[in-house]
Amino acid sequence: MKKYFFLLLISSVLHLPVSFAQRSGYWQQRAEYVMDIDFDVNKHQFKGKQKLTYYNNSPDVLDRVFYHLYFNAFQPGSMMDVRSRTIMDPDPRVRDRIAQLKEDEIGYHKILSLKQNGKPVKYEVVGTVLEVELAEPIAPGKKAVFEMEFESQVPVQIRRSGRNNREGIDYSMTQWYPKMAEYDEQGWHAHPYIGREFYGVWGSFDVTIHIDKNYVVAATGVLQNPQEVGHGYENKNKPLKRPQGDKLHWHFKAENVHDFAWAADPDYQHTTAQVPGGPLLRFFYQAEANQSGNWDKLPQYMVEAFQIMNREFGQYPYPEFSFVQGGDGGMEYPMLTLIVGNGSLDRLVGVATHEFIHNWYYGILGTNEALYPWMDEGFTSFAEDYVFNKIMGINSPNPFKSSYNGYFRLVQFGLQEPLSTHADHYNTNMAYSIASYSMGSIFLRQLSYIIGEEAFRKGMLDYFNTWKFKHPTPTDFIRIMEKASGLELDWYKEYWIYTTKHIDYAIDKVVSKGNKTEVTLRRVKEMPMPIDLHVTLNSGEEHIFHIPLQIMRGAKKGTGKNYHVEADWGWVYPTYTFELPFSTGDIRQIVIDPEEYMADIDRSNNTYPADSSLDARGK
């Protein structure tokens, strides 16, 4: 106990992460923002003062730093503009819209001054990145205080950020401030903003926004002055004490987050719901979006969804979460998500479910979305399908089917690229989307097949509890799953993430051997997998014959007398032959993986007797 409190004290003083179960030598930077924002709703511009205390917890001396200036992407000729117009399959939300922006419609950040520890620094704006030459190096274990003054213009809403979106929301303020780039064991991640997602420094935000008093503001964090603001935040049993003048002063604080977002509109309705044993949920929407009553129904679904996530994927650690109508679809931020406001109940619940679950896989497990978007979008999609299936009462035995179908289409079109591709550098939007969402989800679904449901559920909770408030990598995740299952899994990560090799297994031969049956299986494509062979007898009795891969150094656990573990299959051998303890005449059907956990690209060869009704993808 004394050692624990000593380490905790040292961590608090030096702002270092306490790490007991992470890999040895793990470290991460910390950034503490204090910002004061004066907003002009007539010009769609704001002036900002930012004080950033930056802690260098790395073993390296830093002689420069980088900031992201995301609003600069919304200017004709920017990298986002050019990429959106030249990629094979442009995003329909963007296309050539940036190229058509007028001077009063573009976005920008203008840096007026920047000091390090009171000394002016040299800096250069390069597109969406601010390159800063430090006045003095930041040594390991030391900190620096950066003070910045800047002016910004909010662009017409095109992608995530902006004003006056198609649903009539005035301001979706995301990627809206000069943000320190992340520095980790791979160095700086000062990527230009061309439309993909984000990676941020863990820390805290203390943000005050001065805006016209008729506006309702939703934001990351917890409002510190509700009785001065009102608009649904106040304690109804206490008097409001709004300041004189035309503006309200919204003061938010957030701890242990890596970004800060907000939205503002004069027509927002603001309601709340409490998750038992969890956060207070806030809902911000325009009355027009609730004509069918869907926003009145949304809270009950989200309360249940939060309870499922807390129970099965890890406890949400913050006191509040906000669902906000805004943006161009759905986009996640710490403690807040922007979602579409209109449409059917299924659509509203679906996008809300996906986006709030991102607060587990992005918000709390802060993976680098540029390098590992599948750990963000894919893990979120997996949990979304699982939760949506429950809260909507669908109860499908395979709620992940759409992810598999998306992957099969990608393979069919010949556009697949490795999941290890940097998010900005996929050749097509289709390849990026299906890789990140569908293949990331399949990665988890197949993993549950490989190691078993019990080990998988344990591993997912261990992953969350071990790596929350940190930056896990694919190797960190796999190591957690290896410990949960007792199996070696590096082969699975290498094949699914770093190659475009496919899974295809076949029942090659079934030969009668008197009162036994000899079965030969064939690995048709390159990617090896353990095999669950289901055998149904004429009596209706079912047996599972599990064939582990030799490189797993073990087998997943099964239960019951009808679960049989066979000898290992060495991955270099194209075929595998073994005997079933039944006569061929007693067998009704033999099927490889009837639950369709494996992303087998040709299921027409998975069944004996052959099932001619299956097409090449088994659908």
pLDDT of residue 559: 87
d(CA 227, CA 233): 8
Q: What is the mean pLDDT of residues 357-384?
A: 98
Residue 171 · residue 178 · CB < 8 Å: no
6 pLDDT exceeds 80? Answer: no
Q: Are the beta carbons of 432 and 423 closer than 8 angstroms?
A: yes
- Quick one: what percent of the chain has pLDDT higher than 90? 94
Pick the residue with more confidence: 20 or 526? 526
pLDDT the model gives residue 18: 39
Higher pLDDT, residue 26 or 617: 26
pLDDT at residue number 328:
86
Task: Measure the CA–CA gap between 318 and 343, rounded to whole angstroms.
Answer: 29
Q: Pick from 317, 357, 369, 333: which is nearest to 182 by CA? A: 369
Q: Give the strand pairing for 587-592 and 531-537.
A: antiparallel
User: Is residue 617 over pLDDT 60?
Assistant: no
> What pLDDT, in 10s, does the model give residues 261-294?
999 999 999 999 999 999 999 999 999 999 999 9
Residue-wise pLDDT tens digits, 164-205: 999 999 999 999 999 999 999 999 999 999 999 999 999 999
Asked whether residue 148 carries a pLDDT value surpassing 90, the answer given is yes
pLDDT, residue 471, reads 98
Name the band, by pLDDT with cuts 50, 70 and 90, for residue 5: very low
- Does the reported pTM lie above 0.85? yes
Alpha helices in 108-181 (DSSP H): none
β-sheet bridge partners, residue 30: 55
Average pLDDT over residues 548-556: 98
User: What phi, psi does 337 have (nearest 5°)?
Assistant: -135, 145
Q: Provide, rounded to the nearest whole percent, the portion of the chain with pLDDT above 70.
A: 95
Whether 282 and 323 have beta carbons less than 8 Å apart is answered as: yes
Confidence of residue 50 (pLDDT cuts 50, 70, 90): very high
pLDDT at 329: 87
Residue 578 CA to residue 519 CA, distance in Å, equals 6
pLDDT score, position 13:
35
Q: In sequence order, what are the residues at sequence separation of 6 or more whose Cβ sits closer than 8 angstroms to the Cβ of residue 237?
A: none
Q: Which long-range contacts (CB under 8 A, 24 or more apart) does 480-484 make?
A: 481/447, 481/451, 481/455, 481/456, 483/459, 484/451, 484/455, 484/456, 484/458, 484/459
Assess contact for 269 and 287: CB atoms under 8 A: yes
- For residue 300, how far is the Cα from the chain centroid? 24
So what's the pLDDT on residue 190? 98
Helix, strand, coil in percent for the chain, rounding step 5? 30, 30, 40
pLDDT tens per residue across span 581-603? 999 999 999 999 999 999 999 99
Is the pLDDT at 21 greater than 70, yes or no? no
pLDDT at 38 over 60: yes
Helices (H), 313-422: 345-357, 373, 379-391, 401-413
Cβ contact 449:534 at 8 Å: no
In this predicted structure, the answer to whether residue 19 has a pLDDT above a threshold of 90 is: no
